[in-house]
Amino acid sequence: MNYDLLILLHFAVNGLVGGICVCRLGKMHGVLIRVKAQYIGLLVMSAANGFSPILFSQWPTAVSILYVLWVLFILWSDGYQWREGAPKPALVSDHWAMGVVAQAWTRAREKLRELRSKFVALVRRLSHGR
């Protein structure tokens, strides 16, 4: 088999996958962390896969190229959700569970701040009493 052509095709398809990941990562502000992680991981792995002949001396096979082509097809066919930025259900503010977590976090932080100021006042009083 002609390896040069295969490597070029492999690199091109992985580059397209990574490019789609970069475009979507640019719209990720305020999106669930696991959705961010999907695309960060996919970007890194597509780079590793595309450069694998140079980096790890692993040669692409026809089947692996078909697999990456199918990943590219999945991303392309998923594009309608990303026409106007990130999809609505992926936003943190629209997710009730994340809202609850954020509220609890804020409350806990206020409580901690209160406790710390109390502790500081106590230490001041004790040190002045001496």
Taking the least distance from each CB to another protein, the nearer of 59 and 119 is: 59
Task: Out of 9, 25, 91, 92, name the contact with another protein by CB under 8 A.
Answer: 25
Per DSSP, the three-state class of 130 is coil
| Least Å from the CB of residue 29 to another protein | 5
User: Binding segment for another protein among 23-31, 62-70, 73-81, 96-104 (CB under 8 A)?
Assistant: 23-31
The phi, psi pair for 31, rounded to 5°, reads -105, 155
| Identity at 101, one-letter amino acid code | V
| Residue 43 binds another protein, judged by CB under 8 A | yes
| Least Å from the CB of residue 46 to another protein | 9
Cα separation of 109 and 79, whole Å?
Answer: 39
Q: What is residue 78's DSSP assignment?
A: T
Could you tell me the CA-to-CA distances from 63 to 10, 42, 46, 48, 116 in Å, in that order? 11, 19, 16, 17, 60
| Residue 92 binds another protein, judged by CB under 8 A | no
Q: What is the CA radius of gyration of the chain?
A: 25
User: Binding segment for another protein among 2-10, 21-29, 90-98, 114-122 (CB under 8 A)?
Assistant: 21-29
Q: Which residues bind another protein (CB under 8 A)?
A: 19, 21-23, 25-29, 31, 36, 39-40, 43-44, 47-48, 51, 53-57, 85-86
